[in-house]
Each structure stands twice: as structure tokens, then as C-alpha cells.
Amino acid sequence: MESSIPNQTPIKKYRTPDGYTSDIAVFTIVNDEKPTLKLMLIKRTELNAEGEPNVEGGKWALPGGFVQPHETAYEAALRELKEETGVDGFHVKHFGVFDKPGRDPRGWIISNAHYAIVPNDYLEARQAADDAQEVELFSVDQVCQLSLAFDHREIIEEAMEWIKRDMVQTTLARSFLPPEFTISELQSVILAVVQDPQVESKPAFFAKAQKLPFIEVVLEKDGQAKTTQRNSSRPAKLYRFNDYELVKSIYR
């Protein structure tokens, strides 16, 4: 006999998923010859903890795993990221749900997709653990050449669209930058993620950026603008993000 809740539809009337997971796309910017957007992936072990062939073993994948009964999908994302890569301590944002039947050979598995944008120094402590045999950073072009597990290519492509949108519509760039930065560094970070003609033009961007309400010049104790020569022989002003709340309106 089907169990039921009083005054509600019998519990077993509808099909339930075979599993509930969280996956995380972790992006950073690495300063090689120029700032380059990279994605952190794990390589799934060939064998699982029981010594049996692992599902999609040997393929590169996003860090992630099954949500436990006592936690939310967001909490699972943080836990799995720590367990599989040794990395934690930064903000993770949910951006989508992937539930197409057949996306996972183990059954109908629903995945919550998250992404994180973090400075590269956060990822220096990364190390493979749990069911990950390797953990590496790949450029977007390199990711396109990899054999990826499950539907992770689709998840990554959607994550990229969210990042590009957020980079030009929010203050997302602050996640890549040090607390104090130059306008040139801000420009480089944005261009590492999205090619925008208004940002690519150095004169236009520098003129616009200095008027943005959410960044301000860093001042010395004497009230003079603080400068740096870390990227140039000529002193450049340092800026920082302030607490201005950015609200975008379609009517402006």
C-alpha cells in the first residue's frame, strides 16, 4: 500500500530522481604572457573506493558529487570541492540545474551547477583527493580539446556565458584583483574573460573607469593618490572597490 501524507497526493505516485548532485566550475586568471582565463578540472579515477571501475573513469570533469541527506546542494558543492581538490574558503554561486534524462549512465541524476571566480593564489594549494586522481588548470581553448565526463561540457559552456555577462554587468572583476589595483589591471582582467570593444579601447576605458561609482582612488595619509610601478616604469594610481551598491535598471 502506498504511503501518503494526510490531505496530499500519495508519495509514490510520481517518479523520483536516482540521485542529486552538485558540480562546480572554478575559474581563475593566470598571468602567463598575458592574463588568461583558466578552469580547474579533476581527472576521475579509473577505480572507485570499492576497487570497481569508476563511472566515466579517466575523463576530466568538474569537481562535484552527491548531495547528502543532511545538507543542501550549495553545502554539498563546498564540501565536494574541498574533498576532491583541497581548495576551500571562497564564494560559490549557483547558476543552473541540469536534469535531462540520460545525462548520467547511473540513472536520472539531477545536478545543481555552481561557479566560483577566485584569484589564482587560492588555487596554489590544490591537490587531488577522494575520487580525483589529478587536478589541473586548463585554458578555455584547452578545455575544448578534452574528453569530458557526463554533460560537463554543456555545464561549462553555460558557466562561461554567466561569467561573461557578470563581468560586464557587475563588479565580478574584484574577485580576480588584489585589494588595490590599477586601471590597466582592471582592464586586463575584464578582457581575459570577454572581448568588449568599449573595454579594448585604452583611452575610452581609462576615461570611463575613473568615473565609475564603485571604485575609488586609494589615498596616502597626506591625502595624495597612492601609486605603484609594479607593471610600468611610470607611476600609476591605485584604486579599490568601495561599498557602492550597483543596481542595473532597464529604464536608464
Measured at the CA of 12, the angle between CA 18 and CA 19, to 5 degrees, comes to 10
> Active site includes 84?
no
Q: One of 75, 134, 157, 161 is an active-site residue; which one?
A: 134
Nearest to 219 by CA among 244, 239, 242: 239
Which H, E and C letters describe the chain, residue by residue?
A: CCCCCCCCCCHHHCCCCCEEEEEEEEEEEEECCCEEEEEEEEEECCECCCCCECCCCCCEECCEEECCCCCCHHHHHHHHHHHHHCCCCCCCEEEEEECCCCCCCCCCEEEEEEEEECCHHHHHHCCCCCCEEEEEEEEHHHHCCCCECCCHHHHHHHHHHHHHHHHHHCCHHHHCCCCCECHHHHHHHHHHHCCCHHHHCHHHHHHHHCCCCCEEECECCCCCECEECCCCCCCEECEEECCCCCCCCCCC
Catalytic residues: 134
